[in-house]
Amino acid sequence: MIPGARLVLLGRQGAGKGTQCVRLARHYVIPHISTGDMLRMAVKEGTDFGQKAKDYMDAGELLPDDIIVGIVAERLARDDTSRRGYVLDGFPRTVGQAEALAELSADSLQPLDVVLDLEVPEDVVFQRISKRRVCTDCGTNYSVDSPPRYDWTCDTCGGQVTQREDDTEEAIRHRLDLYREQTEPLIAWYQSRDLLAAIDGLGHPDEVTRRLIRAVDLRTRPGRALNR
């Protein structure tokens, strides 16, 4: 039986959070909870809420804390997360959201194990996001440098692979500004609570995955990490 884990991944847009979260979720057998994916799903379903979310997302703005906290709280209350844990991707991204998460974790007596900060410089992520293409069905990431095998059809699910509407140059710049202003303060916030592990996000994705797993194991099962 593989023990679960409760993880948060921080990192700029384009740092590779999505890709790495999928791998961490598989490794620790925990659900991958991506607020961006959840919102894009709501947009696709065309609900009133989805329409409202789309307006924020297309403008590159953050949704208000209370709305996004409500969505995450509901998701964290489900069986799979209370049994196994989770890897959170795209949440929290403000100090207000981090405080709300801390409260939820305290209420359920399920504290975070570690917050991983995936470090990639701004100029590098800017290049990566401009080249990013995403499956509209399953969210798998591609890039113009490594497209799917057949004509922008997703290798994983056969869905259509396109550029995200919020991946225009202007929206990317705006999201990076917001990250600096709103999300970067979380690094110090978690550091002062002794929960932060900074991980170099440059290099081959497999190497980055190894670094992340090592950091998690060091926190949660030190004996095992030392034997790797």
Q: What amino acid is encoded at 222 in this protein?
A: P
Q: Is 173 a catalytic residue?
A: no
Range 131-151 burial, b when 16+ CB lie within 10 A, else e: ebbbbeeebbbbeeeeebeee
Which residue among the candidates 93, 128, 133, 219 is catalytic per the annotation?
93
Whichever of 60 and 148 has its CB closer to ligand ADP, that residue is 60
Measured from the CB atom, the residue of 39 and 196 that comes closer to ligand ADP is: 39
The closest alpha carbon to 96, from 66, 53, 57, 56, belongs to: 66
Output the smallest distance, CB 73 to ligand ADP, in A.
12
Task: Choose the binding region for ligand ADP from 1-9, 88-96, 109-117, 141-149 (rule: CB under 6 A).
Answer: 88-96
Could you tell me which of 29, 34, 208, 209 has the C-alpha nearest to residue 134?
34
> How many residues does the structure list for the chain?
228
Within positions 156 to 195, which residues make up the interface with Zn ion, using CB under 5 A? 156-157, 159
Residue 211 known to be catalytic:
no
Question: Is 23 a catalytic site residue?
Answer: no
Q: Which of 25, 62, 87, 197 binds ligand ADP (CB under 6 A)?
A: 62
Contacting ligand ADP within 98-157 (CB under 6 A): none
Find the part of the chain contacting Zn ion (CB under 5 A) among 31-39, 48-56, 147-155, 185-193: 147-155
Q: What are phi and psi of 155, to 5 degrees?
A: -65, -30
Member of 8, 33, 57, 176 binding ligand ADP (CB under 6 A): 57
Question: In the annotation, is 52 catalytic?
Answer: no
CA distance 46 to 88: 24
What span, in angstroms and rounded, lies between the C-alpha atoms of 93 and 101? 11
Q: How far is the CB of 160 from Zn ion (least distance, A)?
A: 8
Among 35, 140, 209, 220, which residue sits at the site for ligand ADP (rule: CB under 6 A)? Answer: 35
Beta-carbon contacts of 6 under 8 Å, excluding residues fewer than 6 positions away, are 85, 86, 105, 110, 111, 112, 113
Instruction: Give which of Zn ion, ligand ADP, none residue 137 binds (C-beta under 5 to 8 Å, depending on kind).
Output: Zn ion
Beta-strand relationship, 85-89 and 161-162: unpaired
**β-pair type (161-162, 132-135):** antiparallel
Measured from the Cβ of residue 45, the count of other Cβ atoms closer than 10 Å reads 9
Q: Is 221 labeled as catalytic in the residue annotation? A: no
Q: How far is the CB of 205 from Zn ion (least distance, A)?
A: 18
- Catalytically active residues are 17, 93, 132, 164, 175
Binding site for ligand ADP (CB under 6 A): 13, 35-36, 39, 56-57, 60-63, 68, 90-91, 93, 97, 166, 175
